[in-house]
């Protein structure tokens, strides 16, 4: 009860996505283009975006861009892996995966919304193992976590841009 009273007194309120997007809430997610050297990462990122949009529930995903109010396209511009920590005999103990996306969002009327490029960069550390299969699995999980973070940031940026620009509902 105390948290409820405190949070309402500090200006916090529930996010109401439906009020921002109104009836213009259908989005078509084009598959991400993969400009990295990592095979299959485009599917991981596209799935992360679809999951994030479904989880938030503000925008409904449609398959036909002609019926969509929004069209989201993207490119995986960069995916790199770096060694981050080493043992005393120069074995890698920890790696870091870094991803950069280029995301384009347009309304049916052609209006473009630019997302901040700094918010479309993320990285995640993962542990190395003597077993290469464990290291590979850890890397795949790190890529999934990075994709989920970037999808969440893109959704937040879309919401903020739409609410600040007073995007009219259709």
The pLDDT, as a whole number, for residue 65 is: 87
Within a domain: residue 109?
yes
* pLDDT average, residue stretch 125-135: 93
Within a domain: residue 47?
yes
What is the maximum alpha-carbon separation in the chain? 63
Residues facing 107 on adjacent strands: 70
User: Measured between alpha carbons, how far is 138 from 135 in angstroms, rounded to an integer?
Assistant: 5
Within a domain: residue 9?
no
Within a domain: residue 7?
no
Within a domain: residue 126?
yes
Total number of domains in the chain: 1
The pLDDT, as a whole number, for residue 168 is: 43
Within a domain: residue 13?
no
Is the separation of the CB atoms in 137 and 126 below 8 Å? no
Q: How confident is the model at residue 46 (pLDDT cuts 50, 70, 90)?
A: very high
Q: In the predicted model, what is the mean pLDDT of the chain?
A: 83
Is the separation of the CB atoms in 113 and 162 below 8 Å? yes
Domain limits for position 63:
22-164
DSSP states of 92-114 as a string?
EEEEEEEEEEEEEEEETTS-EEE
Within a domain: residue 17?
no
CA distances (Å), 129 to each of 83, 95, 138, 143, 163, in order? 13, 10, 9, 17, 46
Residues facing 60 on adjacent strands: 26
Within a domain: residue 16?
no
Is the separation of the CB atoms in 119 and 157 below 8 Å? yes
Q: What is the pLDDT of residues 71-125, one digit of tens each?
A: 888 999 999 999 988 888 778 899 999 999 999 888 888 888 778 788 899 999 9
Here the CATH number for the domain that contains residue 120 is 3.30.160.150
Q: What is the pTM of this model?
A: 0.80
User: Which alpha helices (H) appear in the chain, and where do they start and end?
Assistant: 2-9, 17-21, 41-56, 132-164
């Amino acid at each position: 009860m105390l948290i409820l009273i405190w949070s309402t007194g500090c200006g916090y309120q529930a996010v109401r996505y439906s009020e921002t997007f109104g009836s213009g809430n259908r989005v078509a997610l084009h598959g991400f283009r993969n400009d990295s050297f990592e095979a299959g990462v485009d599917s991981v990122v596209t799935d992360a975006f679809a999951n994030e949009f479904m989880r938030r529930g503000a925008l409904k995903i449609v398959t036909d861009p002609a019926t969509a109010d929004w069209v989201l396209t993207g490119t995986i511009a960069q995916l790199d892996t770096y060694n981050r920590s080493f043992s005393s005999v120069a074995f890698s103990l920890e790696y870091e995966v870094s991803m950069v996306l280029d995301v384009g969002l347009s309304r049916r009327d052609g209006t473009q919304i630019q997302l901040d490029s700094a918010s479309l960069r993320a990285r995640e550390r993962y542990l190395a193992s003597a077993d290469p299969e464990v290291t590979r699995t850890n890397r795949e999980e790190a890529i999934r976590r990075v994709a989920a973070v970037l999808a969440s940031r893109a959704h937040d940026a879309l919401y903020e841009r739409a609410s600040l620009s007073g995007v009219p509902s259709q």
